[in-house]
Amino acid sequence: MEEDPPVRDLTQRQSEILAAVVRGLTNDDIAKMFSIQRSSVKDHLTAIFAKLGASNRAEAISIALRKHLLKV
């Protein structure tokens, strides 16, 4: 199993959005929750994926849990 790259710090908003993703919320749900545009959610997710070295939501969740970036 390959080791994850070092994780750059997530912003507070990115952490909140990642936690919402872990809860299974859609981009639309997250946008409504934070009163932001759906495109802003996508931008945050793109930044989160880049910082975590992930290519999709499932991989981002897996890395975040392994690195103890989220409280579950």
pLDDT at site 3: 58
How large a percentage of the chain has pLDDT more than 70? 89
pLDDT digits (tens, 9 = 90+) for 28-40: 999 999 999 999 9
The secondary structure of 6-47 as a DSSP string is: PPPPPPHHHHHHHHHHHTT--HHHHHHHHT--HHHHHHHHHH
Its pTM stands at 0.86
Question: Cα–Cα distance between 34 and 37 in angstroms, integer?
Answer: 9
- Write the single-letter amino acid at 15: S
Domain 12-66 has CATH 2.40.50.140: no
3-state SS, residue 50: helix
